[in-house]
């Protein structure tokens, strides 16, 4: 169950990043940095949750 929530969370973050990229649209560099931030944030949440699972 936890894995499904993690996948959904990562997908939601990527959707938010794509939406921001298409609606706000600064320079290409800023768009890519925002996209990278949200992808890394999603990966970080997945890593932290997996680490907590290993401790339990």
> Residue 56's pLDDT is what?
64
> Residue 33's pLDDT is what?
82
> Residue 4's pLDDT is what?
80
What does the pLDDT look like over 9-40, one tens digit per residue?
Answer: 778 877 887 787 778 767 788 778 877 887 88
pTM value is: 0.49
Domain boundaries, the chain: 2-55
2 in Cβ contact with 53 (< 8 Å): yes
**Cα–Cα distance, 50 to 53 (Å, whole number):** 5
């Amino acid at each position: 169950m936890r894995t499904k929530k993690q996948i959904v969370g990562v997908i939601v973050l990527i959707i938010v990043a794509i939406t921001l990229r298409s609606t706000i649209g600064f320079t290409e560099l800023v768009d890519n940095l925002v996209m990278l931030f949200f992808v890394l944030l999603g990966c970080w949440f997945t890593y932290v949750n997996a680490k907590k699972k290993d401790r339990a």
